[in-house]
Every structure is written in C-alpha cells, then in structure tokens.
Structure 1
Amino acid sequence: METDISIRLTTLGHPQRLAVFRLLMRRYPDRVPAGELAQALDIKPSTLSAYLSALMQAGLVTQDRIATSLQYSIAMAAVNQTFDYLFNDCCRGRPDLCAPAPFARSPMTQPKYNVLFICTGNSARSIFAEAILRKEAGDRFNAYSAGTLPRSELNPFALDVLRAKGHDISDLSSKNVNVFTGPDAPAFDFVFTVCNQAANEECPAWSGQPVSAHWGMPDPVKATGTDAEKSLAFQGAYGALANRIKLFTALPIASLDRMSLQKAVDQIAQSPSEI
C-alpha cells in the first residue's frame, strides 16, 4: 500500500502531470479523448502520451478505446484510497487537523441554496439550467448562470424554447463568470459546468468550496441543418437539463453529508436525457 501511495504522490509531483489529473477530475465521470486533453492543456500529443502513461502506471487514470479514439478518465477508487490513506494513516483520522472545513461541516440546512451553472457562451445550456431551476424550485434555490466567454446576447432558438415552455425570460442575460467572484457576489452552495470546454478551463476558486459537478452535454448552438433541425437540438438540450435538475431538486440535501451529496450530483451526470 505505502509503495502505491508513494508512486502516486511522486507522479502527481510533476506540474504538468498534475494538470492532466486536475482536468480529468474536473471532467469526472466523463471519459475524455486524448486529443481534447492535449488541446485544452496545450501539450504536444507525444508529451501528453507520456504523462498519461505515468498516471495509468500509478493507477490514477484509466484508458478506454471507443471506436478509434483513446479516452481517459479518473480511477476514482484509487484516488479515494490515496486520500483515505493520507487521512487515516498520516493524519491519524483527525478531522480537526487534516479535513478541509467543507468536508468537516454538517449537512447544508440553510433555507435557500445558491446554484451557479457555467458554460462557455452562457447563451443556451447554462441559461436553460438557470431558468429551469427557477421554475422547478425557486422557493428552495437561487439560480444563476454565467459564461467563461459569454456571448453578447442569448441564442434566439434558446429563447424560443424557453417561451414555449412557459419561462419568464425577462431577467435572463449573458454574463461573465467573473461577475460572481467579487466581494458582493453570492456564496455558492453548488456549481455545475454544463459544457466540456468550460470544465476544461480553470474556473475561479469559489469561496467555501461548494459542491461541484460536470453535467456536460453537446452544444445545441453548433447544430446545423434546417431551422427545424436546429430547434430539435435545443429541445434536446433543454430536456436533458430538465431531467437532471428534477433529479437534483429531489435530493434530500439537508440530510446528506457532503460526500454523499457529491456522489449524488456526480451520478446525475450519468442520467438519461429523458425521464
């Protein structure tokens, strides 16, 4: 056991191997193609291959072949084993010394939870999520959305879907994620990325370490074809997010500890697109 842990820590001691590991953690439980990793981190494919090989040898990353693509994901059992060892052996299981404050705190029981949805353009998917959560459970949640590279206006197809579904769109707007990093910004309890590109980027370190998850899905803005075909792509994105948000709002948040809650929101990412 100690040998395995030592190898894992040594492997993560390399800054760029650590960067690959951190990106895959942000994308968990996704399997990410090697080409996407190389592009997101600006690493040559040959160099990335060496980093991934080292991470796999350490047992921290798994590889799957999907058709002709090699895809990679976090080996979460090994990661948990590593942290368990550090906490139980090195820290002697003392939460007062080693456990980060968010993990040591009791379940969240405040009257209303703040939730932020992030994508790149903040013109469709994250806007859908914000509007759906407000409509589904606005009495329990404050919903917000933002983009890492926000567009100047909301996508017209997205607005058509929201109007058809009976949403109030008067307060919806595209905004930069930096809007929510100042001293007057709300303290978030949950942060969800809903597009792969946003999850690949380094987002701000949110104060209080909110529960976070990646609920990635295809970008309907990239749909091609007739207007009817494009509209169908937006309807699909809306339906997938509506399903996930219904599962999220059904969680007994006040009775779950942080680790159970994290596992639950990660599992929602694997839910089907329709109920």
Structure 2
Amino acid sequence: METKVATHLFSALGHPGRLLVFRLLMRHAPHGVRPTEIAGSLGLRANTLSHHLSDLEQAGLVRSERQGRSIRYAARIDTAAGLLGYLFADCGRGRPDLSPMLSLPPDHVMAQKTWNVLFICSGNSARSIFAEALLRDLGDGRFTAHSAGTRPGTAPNPLALEVLARNGHEVAGLRSKHLSDFQTADAPQMDFVFTVCDTAAAQECSPWPGQPISGHWGLPDPVKATGTDAEKGLVFAQTYAALRRRIAAFAALPFGQLDRLALQHQVDRIGRDHA
C-alpha cells in the first residue's frame, strides 16, 4: 500500500464517529448493515451517520449495496487488511515484537482437539440457547458448546425449550448465562465465538484471548414474535431450523484440512449461505 493511500485511510478513521461506524461494520463483516440499525446501535442522527458513511465509502473502507428497497453498508475487509499490512510490513518492517499482535497463529491449529465454542445473543434465552444445544448434539463430541447473553437477569424462553425438546434435545441442563461469566481469568479459552443477533455484535466487548475465530450469524429475535401461541411457536421453530442448517454445516467442516484463514472464510460463507 502506498503511503498516500494509507494517509487517506488514517484520515477517514481519525474521527471518533467514523471509527465507531467502521468498527461496528467490521464486527458484522462480511455482512452488510442497514443505516437505521447502525444509527440505533450507536445513537447517531441520520444526517450525521450519512456523512460518516459517505466519507468511509469514499476512502474505500466501506461499500454499499442495494437489497430490495434498502441499502446495506459493509466493511471492506481487503482495505482493512491492506492498512494493517502497511503498519506491520512497511512501517514496522515486520519486527518480531509486533508480529504477535498482528500475525495469525500457525496453520492447522484447529486439528485434533476438542474445540470451545461460544454463542452470544442479547438475552441468552432462545437463539444462543438453540445454538448451544444444537452443537452439543450435532458435534459428535468434538465441541464443548457454551452460550451467553449481554443482558443480565434472563432465563431460557419456554417456547425455545419446547422446540428443543420436540426435536430430541436434552433441556434439563440449559440455563442463561451472562457474558461476563466467560471473561474471567479461569474461564475456558474459546476457539470460536459467534454472535447470533445484531445487538450482541454491536456490543462493546474486550478482545478475546487466544484470537478465536469469530462469526456473525445474526437472526431476528423469536422472543419478539407476536400473534397467537401457534404463530409464535412457528417463529421459534423457523429460528431453530435456520440455526440447525448453519451448525450442521459448521460441524461438517474438515477442520484438519483448513488453515485459520480458510476456516474464517468457511464460517463467513455459512453465515451467508445458510440463512
């Protein structure tokens, strides 16, 4: 990357508001986010957000695409990677004391082990509970599945437990946990961290130790469904089915044949193709 280009990118990210927008989009990457969702998550006025998105898009850090009647904005991963490469390889000349912060662990580190996987949503009452139970039962003993929420004082939704029981999952040990339970010094180190709702993806969260592979598999919250009990139950069943498709595809990945970059691409593909 040329210095002139890097300077332009640093300038675009040099405003606190633009940096917050870009960070939020990176947390949803590779998926796009609607402006109304960005504004709601960050508490920005529509006209202010519009200026930030325009500046970021002009700099090449963000791209926009129309989906039906709405426009979604997504972070440009290639541009972000180029900027990190400029800092490390060009400015830092690849100094080994910088590489632990920027380089990935060795290839094939995912082979031959039991992997810790954490699913996060806002309430830990339905979507992440579904995901925990699904990976536990579809993972053939190769995963230790966990789930947590960003909102305290919640409990598994009765309709979620009903759907799980109806599909043959053991529900007796399922409970809601707060995200802080997995951020203590003695908490298990995660190999994968997935957010399954947009609210959780936008939450402030410290970097996870060990550089786990992350994915955003956002789904609407079935708890917010309205209508008759049968109509609500159908929404819960549809959410369960969507997560089952994704987790079955994830559990079937040939982990021993994929390096971390290839595995990250597969995680992103599952979120995109198995909605």
TM-score normalised by L of structure 2:
0.92
The one-letter code of the counterpart of 1:116 is L
- Matched residues in 1 for 2:153 and 2:268: separation? 28
Does residue 57 of the first structure (1) align with residue 58 of the second (2)? Answer: yes
User: Structure 1: where are the runs of 5+ without partners?
Assistant: none
Q: CA separation in 1, counterparts of 2:91 and 2:260?
A: 22
Deviation at 1:85, TM superposition (A): 3.7
Q: Aligned runs of 1:145-184 on 2, under 5 Å?
A: 145-184=147-186
Give the deviation of 1:255 after TM superposition. Answer: 3.0
State the Cα distance separating 1:100 from its structure 2 match.
2.9
Structure 1 CA distance for aligned equivalents of residues 84 and 27 of structure 2: 17
**Structure 2 CA distance, aligned partners of 1:123 and 1:76?**
32
Separation in structure 2 between the aligned mates of residue 91 and residue 250 of structure 1, nearest angstrom? 39
Q: Which residue of 2 aligns with 1:240?
A: 242
> How many residues are aligned here?
273
Distance 1:17 1:195, change over 3 A: same
Question: Which amino acid in the other structure matches residue 203 of structure 1?
Answer: C
5 Å-filtered alignment, 1:103-252, equals 103-106=104-107, 107-252=109-254
Residue 104 of structure 2 aligns to a residue whose secondary structure is: helix
Most deviating of 126-135 and 238-247: 238-247
124-133 vs 224-233, which deviates more?
224-233
Q: C-alpha distance in 1, partners of 2:74/2:178?
A: 29
What amino acid does structure 1 have at the position aligned with 2:125?
Answer: S
Corresponding residue for residue 253 of structure 1: 255
Deviation at 1:96, TM superposition (A): 6.2
Q: Residues of 1 paired with 2:21 and 2:82: CA distance?
A: 19
Distance, in Å, in 1 between the alignment partners of 2:228 and 2:153 is 23
Render the CA deviation track for 1:112-160: whole Å, top value 9, x for unaligned: 0000000001010000000000001151100000000145321111111
For 2:75 and 2:16, how far apart are their aligned partners in 1?
17
1:82 aligned partner: 83
C-alpha spacing 1:56/1:235, structure 2 compared with 1 (3 Å): same
CA positional deviation for 1:82: 2.8
Identity of aligned residues (%): 51
Structure 1 residues 149 and 22, CA, compared in 2 at 3 Å: closer, same or farther? same
Map of 1:272 onto structure 2: 274
Q: What letter is aligned with 2:245?
A: N
Which amino acid letter does the alignment assign opposite residue 162 of structure 2?
D
Q: Distance in 2 between matches of 1:40 and 1:147?
A: 17
Structure 2 unaligned blocks of 5 or more: none
Native 8 Å contact 2:88 2:98 kept in 1: no
Match of 1:21 in 2: 22
Stretch moving more, 145-154 or 22-31: 145-154
| Larger displacement relative to structure 2 (189-198 or 228-237) | 228-237
Taking structure 1 as the reference length, what is the TM-score of the superposition?
Answer: 0.92
Contact preservation (8 Å) 2:151, 2:178: yes
Per-residue CA distance 1:52-96 (angstroms, 9 max, x = gap): 111011101012234443321112232233334444433445666
Deviation at 1:204, TM superposition (A): 3.1
CA distance in 2, matches of 1:32, 1:88: 31
Change (3 A) 1:198 1:232: same
2:18, 2:162 → 1: CA distance?
A: 44
